[in-house]
Amino acid sequence: MRLIGFSMAAASLLVSFASAFGQRVTLIDAELHVPVPYATAEWLGSGRGVVADAYGRIDVTDAPSGVQLRIRSIGYHVCIRVLDSISADTIQLRSSIKQLDEVVVRLLSPQAYIKRAMNKLKENYSLDSFATENYYQEMLVENEDVINHLEAFIEVHHPGYESERDSFDVRIKAAKKSDAATLSFMTREQEKERKKEWKVARKEGRQMDEDTFEWPLELASPPLLLLIDPLRHSDEKMTVNEDNVQFLDSSNARFYNYWFGKPVSDGERTLMVIHFDQREDVKRSMLKGTLWIDQETDAFVKISFGLSERGLRHLVPGYMKAALWVYGLDYALKETLFEFEYAPFGDEWRLHTTRLKANVWLEKRRLFNPNETSDFNYKCEMITTRTSSIQTPFESDRKYDTKELLSDQLKEVSDAEWKALKKESRNYY
């Protein structure tokens, strides 16, 4: 799994914009009064749902009147509301921390829980092939300017979780790269959001700084997001600087510290929370992250990880940084994040959402000129909007070419078709 030897060739940042003309509701933490991003909301009995964006916003323009809206997010109580009864434009979610049975803590170590979950991969995750439709978005922001933005709607035929990983069949249903006018509009919208958040923070007496408003950065492609799922062929190595960093591999346990977090709820489920980080004495670049495991089925519900701060100084050899300096360049990799969320489909679990995020600072030095600096924020996401238990025929005949950039494989559609697809971009069925 050539993961973080990452083809950092293309950088992109995701900023999720809900429909400018639709009715939006923002989900916020009841105590902290901050948005709850990427929560899911489902209209009970309809089979329809929607995924909140990075600002906790959901589009409820077409919500059926009087129908209950069930909102859930890992670490929060399930919230059920009738949309007609929402008087404000926000819905508050209460956090949920569950007390862990002390006997369980004494009997099982974090590594034991991970091993038990790994042993149940074949039992919990789909061994048969299946089909999905997905919304993909990536964007790159340099300092505060959106310089690249791309969206795509794709179809995928997935192999089972024990099949060959290179047998994904990815088709482009539609794709669009934003033009200069749209990018300029996005930059203005970002600035509005920053000023609004800053005003609210000052009113509430909270201290805010520039780092609070950093925008995520991303470098990826749809096939890459599918291939780096850590539960597919979990015995294959993840590498950083050619070192095996696979935190799910028991042979690597000696490089990591594992410890319990407080269990949280995910709807009706109780999730075991396990944190990990590379050991202090490990002189290489390893990973740091969190695992959420369903206590009843031992299924991984979410996996989140990035490069450990303890190992960043070992990421690039010293001579490499010196060479960059000679050419007038200096950089700092400030943050990396990989997130994988899984959802049940019948009795099986499948990958539902993947997100990548990175933040890179770059300084360009030129003789006799002031230093020039750039802050690149990058994030990308792919959300499953539909899934089926059998391989359904593709609607599109445009097969994704892994040797080309997605921006070079745009499949143009009419404005009406694009508008219809865009409306479904964060919905799921």
Residue 16 lies in a domain: no
pLDDT at 402 (0 to 100): 86
CATH of the domain at 41: 2.60.40.1120
pLDDT at residue 272, as a whole number: 92
Closest CA to 75 of 358, 271, 327: 271
| The pair of three-digit structure tokens given for residue 79, joined into one six-digit string | 């919230």
The answer to whether residues 373 and 291 belong to one domain is yes
**Above 60 in pLDDT, residue 149?**
yes
pLDDT digits (tens, 9 = 90+) for 328-380: 556 667 778 899 999 888 788 999 999 988 877 766 654 444 456 777 778 88
**Predicted structure pTM score:** 0.76
User: Does residue 222 share a domain with residue 342?
Assistant: yes
pLDDT 10s digits, 205-257 = 655 554 444 433 335 788 888 988 999 877 677 777 778 888 998 888 899 99
- Tell me if 8 is assigned to some domain: no
The residue out of 39, 70, 99 marking a domain boundary is 99
Last residue of a domain, one of 38, 64, 99: 99
Residues 167 and 53 in one domain: no
Residue 7 counted as domain residue: no
> What's the first-to-final CA gap in the chain, in angstroms?
31
356 plus 379 within the same structural domain: yes
Question: Is 398 a domain residue?
Answer: yes
Tell me, yes or no, whether 409 and 314 share the same domain.
yes
Look at residues 406, 287, 300, 306 and name the one whose alpha carbon lies nearest to residue 356. 306
> What secondary structure, in 3-state letters, does the chain show?
CCCCCCCCCCCECCCCCCCCCCCEEEEEECCCCCECCCCEEEECCCCEEEECCCCCEEECCCCCCCCEEEEECCCECCEEEEHHHCCCCEEEECECECCCCHHHHHHCCHHHHHHHHHHCHHHHECCCCEEEEEEEEEEEEECCEEEEEEEEEEEEEECCCCCCHHHCEEEEEEEEECCHHHHHHHHHHHHHHHHHHHHHHHHCCCCCCHHHHCCCEECCCHHHHHHCCCCCCCCCCCEECCEECCCCCHHHHHHEEEEECCCEEECCEEEEEEEEEECCCCCCCCEEEEEEEECCCCCEEEEEEEECHHHHHHCCCHHHHHHHHHCCEEEEEEEEEEEEEEEEECCEEEEEEEEEEEEEEEEECCCCCCCEEEEEEEEEEEEEEEEECCCCCCCCCCECCCCCCHHHCCCCCCHHHHHHHHHCCCEEC
Sign of CA dihedral 126, 128, 133, 138: positive
pLDDT confidence of residue 85: 55
Cα 137 to Cα 378: distance, rounded to the nearest angstrom: 11
* pLDDT score recorded for residue 120: 93
225 domain residue, yes or no: yes
Averaged pLDDT for residues 401-429: 83
Are residues 88 and 195 located together in one domain of the fold?
Answer: no
Q: Are residues 204 and 73 in the same domain?
A: no
Q: Assess whether 75 and 207 both reside in one domain.
A: no
Are 296 and 334 part of one and the same domain? yes
Q: For position 238, what pLDDT does the model report? A: 76
Residues 37 and 134 in one domain: no
pLDDT in tens, 85-112: 555 688 888 888 765 454 444 468 999 9
- Number of structural domains the chain divides into: 2
Strands 348-364 and 264-266, by their bridges, are unpaired
Question: Within a domain: residue 104?
Answer: no
306 and 208 belong to one structural domain: yes
Residue 281 lies in domain: 111-428
pLDDT tens digits along 388-412:
877 778 888 899 998 888 888 888 8
Question: Does 246 map to a domain?
Answer: yes
Q: Which two tokens stand for residue 226?
A: 């599918």
Spatial CA neighbour of 359 closest among 189, 200, 186, 210: 210
On whether residue 49 sits in a domain, the answer given is yes
Q: Are 81 and 156 within one domain? A: no
Alpha-carbon distance of 189 to 145, in angstroms, equals: 11
